[in-house]
Amino acid sequence: MDTSTKETIIDRYLAAVSDSLPVRHRKDTVTEIRSLIQDALDDRSKAEGKEPDEEMMAAVLKEFGSPEKIVAPYLPEKYLIGPQLFPTFMLVLRIALPIIVVLSLIGYWIGANISLPINGVDLLADVLKSLGNALTTVVAAFGNIVLIFAILQWAIPEFRVPTQAKEWDPRSLKPISKPDKIKRAELIAEIFFILVALILFNFYLERIGIYNNLNGQWSFTPILTDTFIRYIPLLDLLWVLTIMLDIILLRTGTWQVGTRIFAIFNNALNIGISATLISRIPYLYTLQGALGQWGGEGILRSLLNQILILVFAITIISSGVKIIQMSLHLIRARFLTVVDLTKGHK
Amino acid sequence: MENIQSLDNLILEMRRGVIVLAVLSQCEQEQYGYLLMKSLSEKGLSIDQGTLYPLLRRLETQGLLNSSWRLEDARPRRYYVISTQGRDILPRLVNEWNSMVAMMRSMLDK
């Protein structure tokens, strides 16, 4: 038998098995599998009354199954993100990725140097570039989120193996939370004010300014600058989305997973826009020539700037709080279903 | 066709439950993998090699079997034998098995 000198398919099989085994058990397990294969081969050789040849080896190996199959039971179950963390992982993705897309797009368009008049080719190039940017950011964010969850999976032992149901008392069950009722009047008021803003900023932009009555003569000075006007499409987007959400809420009557995610998205957009505007307050409006004989422009400007900073800051903080509240609701809802599923069988 | 396949799967699943008991019961004497597979097969329980060998290792890790290497005909062989803990557990498993058989019989003999 020349099996000892020439590389046989058994050697190849064992090499493949060895590669897939954890180093710690490799030598021992491979030796054992080799001896088992040899036993099977000897037996077959005796039964068939001939020396083992490649065909016989192949038949024996076929009985053992592929290297992956034979190795699988020796390996502990390995997860990058295990079944216990996976639902939360998906939830985080669903919340974070849209927010990241929006922030990345906003970031791009703020940074972009768009010269007027807008040229179609340049605009298309910018649109494609901003989408490309958003895609890269999303991929990177996805990678980071996976990394964070993989570390959690690795670092927290409870996530490694399916937890055995601990001593559990049915009386510890939380009461079913009442479906979160929406506040109808608030929504209707919001829609009304947004509509006013939409109409004002889109159709009567040139009429926004300061009206002065000087010696019986009315004069008008616009106060919004081009810098501000550039942000109107973004504001329109936010307002339209908010109205859409409000209408959905009015129809469904309660907060649900989809509407919460929608609201998180809107609030993120709101934060993005407000953060951008807050950094450009002095350029958003002008009082040049608006005050006529009243003068005192400097004082009024600094007062207005302070007020605007406050307004935007409050918007950012309240949107942030809303995002946290919505996320907590979602996570809690998800956590409850997970608990239900894992413990329901016991 | 699909029915036959799902029947096969159901039978396989049922067998899986008895393998541990079968293996433990056959390891009162020292056995090496291939021999054990043959003897189980002769007694009517044919187990896939890819299932049996890892199972032996698992039972050893669980402390129900002990193993030792031995050189025979210039070939190392790993021998398995039931451990003290395994000896303690085996009769209880047998009892459980008997009561399950009795229960199933009464359930099916209606």
Kindly give the confidence (pLDDT) of every residue in chain A, 346 residues in length, as a single tens digit, with 9 standing for 90 and above. 444 567 889 999 999 988 888 888 788 888 888 888 888 888 889 888 888 888 899 988 888 888 888 887 777 777 888 887 888 788 878 877 887 787 778 777 766 665 556 667 777 888 888 889 889 888 988 988 898 888 888 877 666 655 555 666 777 776 665 657 788 888 888 888 888 888 888 877 877 777 776 677 777 778 888 888 888 899 999 999 998 998 888 888 888 888 899 999 999 999 999 988 888 888 888 877 666 555 667 777 888 888 888 888 889 988 998 898 888 888 877 666 555 555 444 3
What residues in A contact B49, CB-CB < 8 Å? 36, 40, 63-65, 70
What type of residue sits at position A261? I
Size of interface A-B (CB pairs under 8 A): 47
Task: Report residue B47's pLDDT band, with 50, 70 and 90 as the boundaries.
Answer: confident
CA Rg value for chain A: 33
* CA gap A324, A332 in Å, rounded: 12
Residue located via tokens 């996320």: A327
* CA gap A73, B50 in Å, rounded: 8
Of A54, A72, A60, whose CA–CA distance to A17 is shortest? A72
* CA gap A210, A288 in Å, rounded: 11
What residues in A contact B42, CB-CB < 8 Å? none
Does residue A117 have a cis bond before it (omega within 30 degrees)? yes
Q: Chain B within 8 Å of A36 (Cβ-Cβ)?
A: yes
pTM surpassing 0.90?
no
Q: Is the ipTM of this complex over 0.85?
A: no
pLDDT at A174: 65
Q: What are the structure tokens assigned to B105, written together?
A: 């019989």
Q: Chain B within 8 Å of A18 (Cβ-Cβ)?
A: no
Which of A29, A35, A43 lies nearest to residue B76, judging by beta carbons? Answer: A35
Which of B32, B58, B76 lies nearest to residue A31, judging by beta carbons? Answer: B76
* CA gap A33, A64 in Å, rounded: 9
Q: Chain A within 8 Å of B33 (Cβ-Cβ)?
A: yes
Smallest CA–CA distance, residue A36 to chain B, in Å, is: 6
What residues in B contact A70, CB-CB < 8 Å? 49-50, 53-54
What residues in B contact A3, CB-CB < 8 Å? none
E strands along B1-110, which residues?
A: 31-32, 65-72, 75-82
* CA gap A79, A237 in Å, rounded: 41
Strands A217-222 and A209-214, bridge-based pairing: antiparallel
Q: B55 and A73 in contact by Cβ < 8 A?
A: yes
Smallest CA–CA distance, residue B46 to chain A, in Å, is: 12
How does pLDDT run across A191-210, given as a tens digit for each residue?
A: 888 888 888 888 778 777 77
Per DSSP, what are the bridge partners of residue B77? B70
* Buried/exposed code over A96-126 (b: 16+ C-beta within 10 A; e: otherwise): bebbbbbbbbbbbbbeeeeeeeeeeeeeeeb
Q: Chain A within 8 Å of B60 (Cβ-Cβ)?
A: no
Nearest CA in chain A to B32: A36
- Residue bearing the bigger pLDDT, B34 or A341: B34
Q: What are the structure tokens assigned to A112, written together?
A: 């972009």
Q: Chain B within 8 Å of A158 (Cβ-Cβ)?
A: no
Local structure of B68: helix, strand or coil: strand
- Residue bearing the bigger pLDDT, A296 or B41: B41
Cβ A225 vs Cβ A285: under 8 Å: yes
Q: B50 and A65 in contact by Cβ < 8 A?
A: yes
What residues in B contact A35, CB-CB < 8 Å? 32-33, 75-78
